[in-house]
Amino acid sequence: MFNHLLKNAALTVLLSATVAITTAQKVKEPKAWTTEWSKPYQPFRIAGNLYYVGTYDLACYLITTPKGNILINTGLADSEKQIRQNIKALGFKFTDTKILLNTQAHYDHMGAMAAIKKKTGAQLMMNEKDVPVAKDGGSSDYAIGGKEPSYKPVIPDRLLHDGDTIVLGNMQLVMLHHPGHTKGSSSFLFTVQDEQQQYKVFIANMPSIVTDSAFNKISAYPDIAVDYAYTFKALKNISFDIWLSSHASQFDMHDKHKPGDIYNPAVFKDKAGYDAALSELQKKYEEKMKQ
């Protein structure tokens, strides 16, 4: 009996040591695909109480409410400073961030998540299907995972499921599960209001393909092809006024808005651009299915 207890104690010590090593594992952020990911960008008001606070290409969105603010996506690790400065430049307080959301658990949107969560004390709410990957800092991602975490691991405060509502102050956002790019890729649908009118905003996680492997060879994600097919179908049935995405390049933001432009939500009303982007991605998906 005593021996058994001793063994258990030894095992506990060993286990905690392993946990400590895992937690302390050094983050190795991959080299950015383009310098546009780190390039600063002047923050601006998109529509009503919705603002762009990301880098030149890594889209981060701030939604303000009388009860505090919601931040969607956090860019790379070094985006934190830019996001903080952007929020301040718009006249808001970084520490008023109460809820953190993300469109997908890749390092180019999760890089600064752990740091921002720590500094603001905000609640991180995440699609349940991306949580295992977030917890190991991207290591277990089916396509771009590896031995080292690509961002600081983070544990969410609330798990979200398809159709769940996120409420803060007068705002209600619906999370839509659009898997494929990651298992828990998420889009957000909500209404904002300005002095003139309301806008239904859709922040879509566009279903681009990240893996070089044939879909039927991905044992870590056996449902990948079915998930993409579901997402394409789901995305076609969404109605909205304003379309945004995880990367500025995905919705041609820089063609629609230049730094210093006057407030003009109408430039982001682009159903034709959305349809074209979707059908382009669907073509790539269909090619991939032949692989």
Helix, strand, coil percent content, the chain, rounded in steps of 5: 35, 20, 40
Residue 247 binding Zn ion, by CB under 5 A: no
Asked if 103 and 143 touch (Cβ cutoff 8 Å), the reply is no
**Nearer to Zn ion by C-beta: 247 or 257?**
247
Minimum CB separation from Zn ion for residue 239, in Å? Answer: 25
Stretch that binds Zn ion, among 54-62, 105-113, 190-198, 229-237 (CB under 5 A): 105-113
Q: Pairing between strand 171-177 and 165-168? A: antiparallel
Structure tokens at 245: 């995405």
**φ and ψ of 222, to 5 deg:** -60, -25
**Nearer to Zn ion by C-beta: 57 or 241?**
57
Q: How many residues bind Zn ion (CB under 5 A)?
A: 1
d(CA 208, CA 250): 10
Residue 117 binding Zn ion, by CB under 5 A: no
Candidates 244, 171, 165; CA nearest to 201 is 244
Stretch that binds Zn ion, among 30-38, 102-110, 158-166, 279-287 (CB under 5 A): 102-110
Candidates 76, 172, 74, 186; CA nearest to 129 is 186
Residue 106 binding Zn ion, by CB under 5 A: yes
**Nearer to Zn ion by C-beta: 47 or 178?**
178
Residue burial 95-132, b: 16+ Cβ < 10 Å; e: rest:
ebbbbbbbbbbbbbbbbbbbbbbeebebbbbbbbbbbe
**Nearer to Zn ion by C-beta: 2 or 33?**
33
Minimum CB separation from Zn ion for residue 208, in Å? Answer: 7
Structure tokens at 170: 């007068």
Stretch that binds Zn ion, among 9-17, 104-112, 183-191, 224-232 (CB under 5 A): 104-112
Stretch that binds Zn ion, among 79-87, 103-111, 146-154, 159-167 (CB under 5 A): 103-111
Within the chain, residue ranges assigned H as helices are 2-24, 79-89, 107-110, 113-120, 131-135, 224-236, 253-256, 271-290
Stretch that binds Zn ion, among 106-114, 169-177, 222-230, 262-270 (CB under 5 A): 106-114
d(CA 220, CA 288): 17
**Nearer to Zn ion by C-beta: 106 or 257?**
106
- Binding flags for Zn ion, 49-88, as an x/- string (CB under 5 A): ----------------------------------------
Minimum CB separation from Zn ion for residue 287, in Å? Answer: 19
**Nearer to Zn ion by C-beta: 30 or 169?**
30
Residues at the interface with Zn ion (CB under 5 A): 106
